[in-house]
Amino acid sequence: MRKITYGEGIREALREKMLENKNVVLLGEDVGPYGGTFGVTKGLWEQFGEERVRDTPISEGVIVGASVGAAATGLKPVAELMFIDFLTFGMDGLVNQAAKMRYMFGGKISVPLVLRLPAGGGISAGAQHSGSLEAWVTHVPGLKVVYPSNAQDAWGLMLTAIDDDNPVVYIESKVLYSQKSEVPDKVDPIPFGSARIAREGADVSIITYGKQVHDALKAAAALAKDGIEAEVIDLRSLYPLDKATIFGSVAKTHRALVVTEEVKRGGYGGELSALISEQCFDELDAPVVRIGALDTPVPYSQVLESLVLPSAEDIVKGVKEMF
């Protein structure tokens, strides 16, 4: 075992697949000599050259569009947008082209595209650089969506994403890039649709992903002092979704709390809550509780940002309301 950062986990997966398959290429703004906005691609331009690690113009529409075309004609592009907020400029290529091409051509074409999207707040980047927009992409048939919470999962999910013949939206938590965690000497691909039980418990199920896994574990430790044992489920894969693990946990604990960093209104957390309420109604001893960001753009001020985004304290409060 060794310790590496979340960002290094992504980089090592990219390196592994680029060594394995010459058709894997990287593109995006400053992914080349600069090493990416958050340093994730550092050193890959030097190792693989500018033909396979390509800086692009400042145009998200071009980045996504070029990646769709490259994927449809035999390459395996891994594209990076600087922030998930800028996906607005690339939505047509992703939603109307990448997500639908295989269906519209009767399965005769593949679009093995990975779109990397740094997301979330916590770094005082302001309203236009702090979005959590996973609900947009999980809503679209034809897209797979993953969101790792640690270095090993970041590595393993990227290996699977690059091997997949379908477009994969790979969301990354900006605040986790420098966080270290243990990884084995050999990291295996992680199948999509397989959640991880990050902490076992018998009293309440906390369902989450990304940075909120760490908030949930902190909350669980605090709840344990009050005699409430929380089970924390790290989804890892938002679509396909591991329903069996969620339902099995709720059947054991009979209470469920869903926490996401996105604004609660219209969020992916609402889909999870509805699914649990519909499928596990007879198992629930209390209504499903949702925790999310307040209904406002993310402020630049650190003080206000911490108020708007969900916290471990919010999770503790939400759990205690069920008892």
3 state SS of 117? strand
Catalytic: which of 129, 134, 172, 231? 129
Catalytically annotated residue among 60, 172, 231, 305: 60
H or E, element range at 9: helix 6-20
The Cα–Cα gap between 137 and 127 comes to 20
Walk across the sheet containing 196-199 and list its strands: 196-199, 230-234, 204-208, 256-263, 289-293
Cβ-based neighbour number of residue 295 at 10 Å:
10
Query: Is there a catalytic annotation at residue 271?
Result: no
Is 182 a known active-site residue? no
What are the angstrom distances between the C-alpha of 64 and each of 45, 91, 229?
A: 20, 8, 44
For every residue of 227-286, DSSP letters joined together read T--EEEEE--EEES--HHHHHHHHHHHS-EEEEEEEESTT-HHHHHHHHHHHHSGGG-SS
| Residue 197, both tokens | 């039980």
Residues annotated as catalytic are 60, 129
